[in-house]
Amino acid sequence: MRRLLPVLIFLSLAAPAAASSTMETGLADDRTLAADPSVAGEWAADGVDVVRIHARWSAIAPDASATVPPSGFHFSDPGDPRYDWAALDRSVAAVRGAGMRVYLAVTGPGPVWASADPSRHDGRYKPVAAHFAAFAKAVALRYGADVDRYLVWNEPNQPQWLMPQKHDGRPYSPDLYRSLVAAAVPAIHTADPGSEVVMGTLAPSGSDSRSSSAPVRPLAFLRGMACVDSRYHRVRSARCAGFSAPAADGFALHPHGIKLSPDARAASHDDAPMGDLGRFEAVLDRLTSLRRLTVLGGPSRFPLYLTEFGYQTNPPDRYLGVSTATQASWLVRGAQRAYADPRVRNLTWYVWRDEPLGRNASGWQSGLVFADGRAKPALRAFQTPFAATTRSVWGQVRPGAGHRLAVEGRSASGSYRALAAFDTGASGFFSRSLHAPSSIRYLRVRVIDATASAGLVSGTVRIR
pLDDT at 398: 87
pLDDT at 261: 98
pLDDT at 298: 82
pLDDT at 20: 57
CB-based burial, 42-73: b 16+ in 10 Å, e otherwise: ebbebbbbbbbbbbbbbebbeebeeeebeeeb
Vertex 343, ends 341 and 345: CA angle to 5°? 100
3-state class of 359 per DSSP? coil
φ, ψ of residue 132 in degrees (nearest 5): -65, -40
Please name which of 347, 252, 236 lies closest in space to residue 302, comparing C-alpha atoms. Answer: 252
Q: How far apart are CA 262 and CA 331, in angstroms?
A: 8
With cut-offs at 50, 70 and 90, classify the pLDDT of residue 400: confident
pTM for the whole thing? Answer: 0.94
Q: How far apart are CA 177 and CA 395, in angstroms?
A: 37
CB 350 within 8 A of CB 341: no
Q: How far apart are CA 92 and CA 37, in angstroms?
A: 9
3-state class of 192 per DSSP? coil
pLDDT at 359: 61
3-state class of 284 per DSSP? helix
pLDDT at 436: 87
pLDDT at 22: 76
With cut-offs at 50, 70 and 90, classify the pLDDT of residue 3: very low
Give the total residue count for the chain.
464
Q: Is the pLDDT of residue 328 over 80?
A: yes
pLDDT at 11: 47
With cut-offs at 50, 70 and 90, classify the pLDDT of residue 19: low
Please name which of 427, 388, 421, 389 lies closest in space to residue 405, comparing C-alpha atoms. Answer: 421
**How confident is the model over 180-192, as pLDDT tens digits?**
999 999 999 999 9
CB 351 within 8 A of CB 378: no
Q: Is the pLDDT of residue 14 over 50?
A: no
pLDDT at 290: 97
**How confident is the model over 334-369, as pLDDT tens digits?**
999 999 999 999 999 999 999 988 765 568 999 999
pLDDT at 64: 98
- Least confident range of 31-45, 72-86, 308-322, 358-372: 358-372
Q: Is the pLDDT of residue 1 over 60?
A: no
Assign residue 202 a region (left: φ > 0; alpha: ψ between -120 and 50; beta: otherwise). beta
Q: How far apart are CA 131 and CA 85, in angstroms?
A: 17
Q: How far apart are CA 450 and CA 455, in angstroms?
A: 9
Q: Which residue has the higher pLDDT, 391 or 206?
A: 206
Q: How far apart are CA 214 and CA 78, in angstroms?
A: 35
**How confident is the model over 143-156, as pLDDT tens digits?**
999 999 999 999 99
Average pLDDT estimate for 234-259: 95
Please name which of 152, 58, 59, 57 lies closest in space to residue 103, comparing C-alpha atoms. Answer: 152
pLDDT at 4: 37
Helix 218-225 crosses helix 173-191 at what angle (to 10 degrees)? 70
**How confident is the model over 272-326, as pLDDT tens digits?**
999 999 999 999 999 999 999 999 988 899 999 999 999 999 999 999 999 999 9
For all residues of the chain together, what is the average pLDDT?
Answer: 93
Q: Strands 50-56 and 101-107: what pairing?
A: parallel
Q: Is the pLDDT of residue 464 over 90?
A: no
pLDDT at 18: 52
- Number of neighbours of residue 228 by Cβ within 10 angstroms: 19
pLDDT at 434: 83
Residue ranges in 249-323 assigned as alpha helix (H): 277-289
Average pLDDT estimate for 373-392: 93
Q: Is the pLDDT of residue 6 over 50?
A: no
- Least confident range of 59-63, 83-87, 375-379, 430-434: 430-434
